[in-house]
Amino acid sequence: MSIFSRKSDTVVDTAPEAVFDAATTAVDDISGDYTIDASHSRIGFSARHAMVTTVRGAFKEFEGTAHIDAANPAASSVSLTITTASIDTGSADRDGHLVSADFFDAEVNPTITFRSTAVEKVDADTWAITGDLTIKGTSRPVTIAFDETGSAQDPFGNLRVGFEGSTAINRKDWGLTWNAALETGGVLVSEKIKLEFDVSAIKNA
């Protein structure tokens, strides 16, 4: 029998909890005002390229704040500002195209913003945050599901909370319509984009 057709009896568990150390919980009530620690956070995205692979990237410069009210989640709020030209996909040519007028037109639209309009606690660890996402001068509502990933007191005396979230959008809804047809069918860049958020926030003193 060919080794390429042999089935393995070994199952590898690739779930996040099997890869990382267990999360910590420093406080039961995370209510308070927080500032996002950009150096330990990531705002990323992924898109299909040429209908065959996934290209990933991230914005390297951003700032944001959050007010968390665990007792009354509806009183919570989030504000985020991203520097458009800080986009990084690992390719200078591609990044240059993305900040051009074909896509983000970063000179005219230097920032991307998100301002929450509603916050809901879905279950013990999940928050649904709805807000206005503004890209290239167009504002449209999106809802992002965030999971609490823990809280910790770091060596510098900061109380940190962590959240991970994602959502999918259609870039055409924000006027990002550039594309190229493929001879084999389909297009060069997918219309649907996945947004990904890994957030570490520090409680304000």
Cβ-contact 24, 151 below 8 angstroms = yes
- Residue 133: the pLDDT is 98
> Cα(90)–Cα(94) distance, rounded to whole angstroms?
8
Domain spans, the chain = 29-203
- Residue 7: the pLDDT is 45
pLDDT tens per residue, range 70-105: 999 999 999 999 999 999 999 999 999 999 999 999
Average pLDDT for residues 94-119, to the nearest whole number?
96
- 29-203, what's its fold? Lipocalin (2.40.128)
> Cα(130)–Cα(145) distance, rounded to whole angstroms?
9
More confidently predicted of 69 and 9: 69
